[in-house]
Amino acid sequence: MSVDMDTFRGFADQIAQLGRMAEPVDLPDDERVARVKAEFDAKLNQTRATYLESCVHCGVCAEACHFFLETGDAKYAPVRKMDLLQRHYRREHSPMRWLFRLWTQEITLDDLMEWQELVYDSCTECGRCMLVCPMGIDIADVVNVTRRAYARAELVPAELTAMEQEQSQSGNIFRTGPDDLRRIAAELEQEGIPIPIDKEKADYVLVTSAIEILLFKDALRAAARVMNHLGYDWTVQSCAFEGANFGMLSGYEDVQAKLTNRLMGAAVSVGAKTLIIPECGHAYPAARWYGANALGTPLPFEVLHLSEFLGREVRTGRLKLKPIDGKRTVTYHDPCKVGRIGGVFDEPRAVLQAMGMRHRELPDHGVMNFCCGGGAGNFLLNRAEPLRQKTFELKKRQTESVGAEALVTACSSCRMSFLGAADASGGWDRPIESLVELVGEHLGDGLGEQNGIERAVPDRSL
């Protein structure tokens, strides 16, 4: 069930080469700066102006950010990541701009190059800092606006540029297309796990990703087994099977909308009642929160993350799971975009419970869970590897502190971040497991154990 590490390392080697595939876009320096400012102007609204006016520089947000906590470096304090937009706001839009201009420097290309690390490598837009800010400032939103400005100026890190350029052209990533989907479907058919591709009508559309086709094949296998086991009318659409959205991750808004529109359009065309997003963190908000805007109408179907779907099926009793052989103590890592941003907390825990897992909560879990360190596309950035390593150490400490034998999650990016960091640090004796893969191995006819959950009192000093 767990991924073969040689396959993982081969995949990681390919990722390490990504930056070379980006087609550079030449622009004069002053044009880049002008584009950033123009995008800031376009995105500044009352809400964001209030954020920028109300920061009291208390520094509380720093203690919420895994990058600051694990490095102790003041440059990674969340408030600093707002600096470019704040400077521009103060000089050009603040009621006190005539005064601010006396000491607030204009943004330069050097600033943009320096802040690139702060808004891509060291911010995963996880949203944890907003929850502790006494003023309720959504720093992740400000970072996201800054990323969009960087995209306008063609200053996105090369790895994300390469991914965005490929997906903008083909809709897919990692050179994986419909033929690869059909190939893996044929392989699974041989195992007795059919994947109905391109049905004209279906109640459920399952989305997958190149990462599942190339690396985490067991996750796709397990999802297909679940859908077949439940006997639902389902399909995967070869014209829109990719859930990842590198328009969203890089900051290219038009590409983001185009990709989301494609997914939504495919679900509409088959008359779907439910669109199921795979174990991918950002694919969930890309579809759930931006889907209707991209389509231009209210969605005629519901959007569920796979972990949400599994939990719902377990809770209604339609999906019956076998208890695992012998008690196993596990902990669950909430992917930020599914948990804190999406509100999906109880469903994956219900699934673990149904398999009779002994579940220990991390000291920080649920809405306050720490990010894997690789979200928002960070897991592809070569230069961010030391930062991911640091944040993995935090997760490792917390996992071991609760005596968990395995770390379970429902996001391929989180798994890749953890696996990469664990491998780089000489390995870890706790497997990093996928929720749906566990489910795929424990499909049963009888009701699962309902009393297996045991909660430890979290040690918040970690």
Contacts of 277 (CB under 8 A, 6+ apart): 207, 243, 283, 284, 287, 288, 303, 304, 305, 306
354 binds ligand SF4 (CB under 6 A): no
Max Cα distance, the chain (Å)? 73
Q: What part of residues 271-300 is at the interface with ligand SF4 (CB under 6 A)?
A: none
- At its nearest, how many Å lie between ligand SF4 and the CB of residue 367? 13
Beta strands in 122-264 (DSSP E): 204-206, 234-235
Contacts of 4 (CB under 8 A, 6+ apart): none
DSSP line for 364-377: S-GGGPPP-S-TTT
86 binds ligand SF4 (CB under 6 A): no
133 binds ligand SF4 (CB under 6 A): yes
Collapsing DSSP to helix, strand or coil, 407 comes out as strand
125 binds ligand SF4 (CB under 6 A): yes
Binding segment for ligand SF4 (CB under 6 A), chosen from 131-139, 163-171, 209-217, 233-241, is: 131-139
57 binds ligand SF4 (CB under 6 A): yes
Which residue lies nearer to ligand SF4 by CB, 65 or 350? 65
Which residue in 21, 55, 268, 368 binds ligand SF4 (CB under 6 A)? 55
59 binds ligand SF4 (CB under 6 A): yes
Beta strands in 72-209 (DSSP E): 204-206
Which residue in 5, 56, 99, 447 binds ligand SF4 (CB under 6 A)? 56
81 binds ligand SF4 (CB under 6 A): yes
For residue 329, count CB atoms less than 10 angstroms from its CB and return exposed for 0-12, middle for 13-18, buried for 19 or more.
middle
Site size toward ligand SF4 (CB under 6 A) is 28
Task: Give how far Cα 365 sits from Cα of 278, 350, 457, Å.
Answer: 21, 15, 12
For residue 57, count CB atoms less than 10 angstroms from its CB and return exposed for 0-12, middle for 13-18, buried for 19 or more.
exposed
260 binds ligand SF4 (CB under 6 A): no
The closest alpha carbon to 27, from 153, 123, 132, belongs to 153
Which residue in 18, 36, 79, 384 binds ligand SF4 (CB under 6 A)? 79
78 binds ligand SF4 (CB under 6 A): yes
Binding segment for ligand SF4 (CB under 6 A), chosen from 3-11, 118-126, 242-250, 338-346, is: 118-126
Q: What part of residues 139-158 is at the interface with ligand SF4 (CB under 6 A)?
A: 139-140, 143
Which residue in 126, 213, 321, 338 binds ligand SF4 (CB under 6 A)? 126
- At its nearest, how many Å lie between ligand SF4 and the CB of residue 68? 7
437 binds ligand SF4 (CB under 6 A): no
- At its nearest, how many Å lie between ligand SF4 and the CB of residue 150? 15
407: number of Cβ within 10 Å: 25
End-to-end CA distance of the chain: 30
Residues that bind ligand SF4 (CB under 6 A): 55-61, 64-65, 67, 78-79, 81, 123-129, 133-135, 137, 139-140, 143, 371
